Amino acid sequence: MSAVDQLFADLRSEGRKALMPFFTAGDPDMATTAQVIQAAQAAGADLCEVGVPYSDPIADGPVIQASYQRSLDGGFRLQQIMDLAEKLKSDAAMPMVSMVSYAIIYRVGLKNYVQQAKAAGYAGAIVPDLLVEEATELSRICADEDFSLVQLVTPTTPRERQVRIAESSSGFLYYVSVTGITGERTALPEDLVENVKWLRGQTELPICIGFGISGPETAAQLAPVADGLIVGSAVVRRVHDAGNSNSAATHVTDFVKALRDAIDNSRNDLVSPIA
């Protein structure tokens, strides 16, 4: 059982939903990344997603694309995400997962990446560009290492394929709420609730919703149907707009607290479409 598995087992027993902020490693620098992760945990985050900057990001909108470019321009190297987890081991009790392109994992070596990441302190990896047809080997390695392999399901993924993706995933399923790229939105698809409910009937994995969650209002709408919520662009934008590490930590603290309150106070009986 990975740390992600244990987290969701604990949350289910408590009747709580996971809050997972996303941070781009190295934007604006690794010291700030460490500081905002610690701030998020203290403010009520349950799990943290660390984005590995990549020159050809997959499905990322302009906010995250720009953050990746800033990090790469600042000299980001893959070893820095390993160093980050090592640094936070004693302070960050919440599990951390990397959001990393399969191209990077493949270049490093599948087993090598998983073992390095686990040794550093990561509990899993979200791999957005991993095709289910090519997932068998990485899925097996992750299972052997108790390391969660999180894959994405989109609104346009055929239902038979969604089941196959769930079968080769572990930790949780990342349900993409909208067709298109990441970014903050004020409205989400009307069939989102129905689609997530259907998927829940096909797998025992927790289902976490990401893409489009702009703030407490959308978080409150989605919390009742999800096992967890992933908030990316809205967090990355606040870190960038803050201008310095201390201000970034304050902005993240305030935002995560607002999200946490909205999720915890949401109605668990929500069944109406999101408009």
Residues involved in catalysis: 49, 60
- Burial class from Cβ neighbours inside 10 Å (0-12, 13-18, 19+) for residue 69 reads middle
Residue 203's Cβ-count burial label (10 Å; 0-12, 13-18, 19+) is: middle
Cα–Cα distance, 121 to 88 (Å, whole number): 8
Structure-token pair, residue 221 = 């709408």
* C-alpha torsion 97→98→100→104, nearest 10: -110
3-state secondary structure 188-256: CCCCHHHHHHHHHCCCCCCEEEECEECCHHHHHHHHHHCCEEEECHHHHHHHHHHCCHHHHHHHHHHHH
Which residues are CB-contacts of 160 (< 8 A; sequence separation ≥ 6)?
A: none
Q: Is the peptide bond before 273 cis (omega within 30 degrees of 0)?
A: no
Tokens matching residue 142? 């992750």
Encode 204-229: b = buried (16+ Cβ within 10 Å), e = exposed. ebbbbbbbbbbebebbbbbbebbbbb
